[in-house]
């Protein structure tokens, strides 16, 4: 069965520190992978996505993610976190038909000064 | 360009009252449409999805229903709201065009049932 796991429910980092949010997926075919960010009371905004090709993808707001097929992972990274990055982050995997989309339960990020 | 509109942004309704949330998409045809609910402190729960007019798939049995009267319109309804229906409701649509693939969300509706 298809699923997405985000092992960290909540993460706290200091402003300026590096960040890595973990995402593991289970999918029977080549996955289409996504990371979204949700600010409080807002909808979800796409940060980046991976379909094929270079396994390191760049996104908006200085984020990047690396697809590792052997580990079934798609971890999100940022070298230096800003206070405005505090939000909820969701990893997702989509089917190649575009009909099914599976989300992780999210990781809440707190940034301290 | 494609855009998705969802309204209202916030809604406070008494228990037992009806509900109608609307979502429309512009700039595309025959989109796949989705309704999600996000309860406080929890992830996204897929409620309904639709691949065409009049075609609705329900992911979980509950007090809600969905309809798609037009190609780019998706409505979430309830005849009688329960306290447990409170949450943040998100509409989304997906596209797949020439190798690109996306999944875009509306801005959400905060529903509080009192």
Give the list of residues 6+ apart from residue B32 with CB closer than 8 angstroms, or none. Answer: A98, A99, B49, B50, B51, B93, B94, B95
pLDDT for the residue numbered A108? 95
Nearest to A104 among B43, B49, B90 (CB): B43
Mean pLDDT, to the nearest integer, of A82-110? 88
Cβ–Cβ under 8 Å, residues B106 and B94: no
Bond prior to B8 in cis (omega within 30° of 0): yes
The pLDDT value recorded for residue A99 is 66
Pick the closest to residue B92 from B36, B16, B43 (CA basis). Answer: B36
> What single string gives the DSSP state of each residue in A27-52?
-SSPPEEEEEEE-TTS-EEEEEEE-S
State mean pLDDT over A20-32. 89
Residue B81 Cα, gap to closest chain A Cα (Å)? 21
Contact between chains at A103 and B94 (C-beta distance less than 8 A) = no
**Are B43 and A103 a contacting pair at CB < 8 A?**
yes
Q: Name the pLDDT band for B3 (thresholds 50, 70, 90).
A: confident
Q: Point out the residue among B99, B103, B110 whose CB comes nearest to the CB of A101.
A: B103
Q: What average pLDDT does the structure give for chain A?
A: 91
Sheet holding B65-70, edge to edge: B3-7, B19-26, B73-78, B65-70
């Amino acid at each position: 069965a298809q699923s997405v796991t985000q092992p960290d429910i909540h993460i706290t980092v200091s402003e300026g520190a590096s960040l890595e949010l973990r995402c593991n997926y289970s999918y029977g075919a080549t996955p289409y992978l996504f990371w979204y960010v949700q600010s409080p009371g807002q909808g979800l905004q796409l940060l980046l996505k991976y379909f094929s090709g270079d396994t390191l993808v760049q996104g908006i707001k200085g984020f990047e993610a690396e697809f590792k097929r052997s580990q079934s992972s798609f971890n999100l990274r940022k070298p230096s976190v800003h206070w405005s990055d505090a939000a909820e982050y969701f990893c997702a995997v989509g089917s190649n038909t575009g009909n099914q989309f599976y989300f992780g339960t999210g990781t809440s990020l707190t940034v301290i000064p | 360009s494609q855009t998705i509109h969802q309204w209202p942004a916030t809604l406070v309704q008494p228990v037992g009252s009806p509900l109608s949330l609307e979502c429309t998409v512009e700039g595309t045809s025959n989109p796949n449409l989705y309704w999600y609910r996000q309860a406080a402190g929890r992830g996204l729960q897929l409620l309904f999805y639709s691949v065409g007019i009049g075609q609705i798939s329900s992911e979980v049995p509950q007090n809600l229903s969905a309809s798609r009267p037009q190609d780019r319109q998706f409505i979430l309804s309830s005849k009688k709201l329960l306290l447990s229906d409170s949450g943040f409701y998100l509409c989304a649509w997906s596209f797949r065009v020439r190798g690109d693939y996306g999944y875009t969300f509306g801005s959400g509706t905060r529903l509080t049932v009192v």
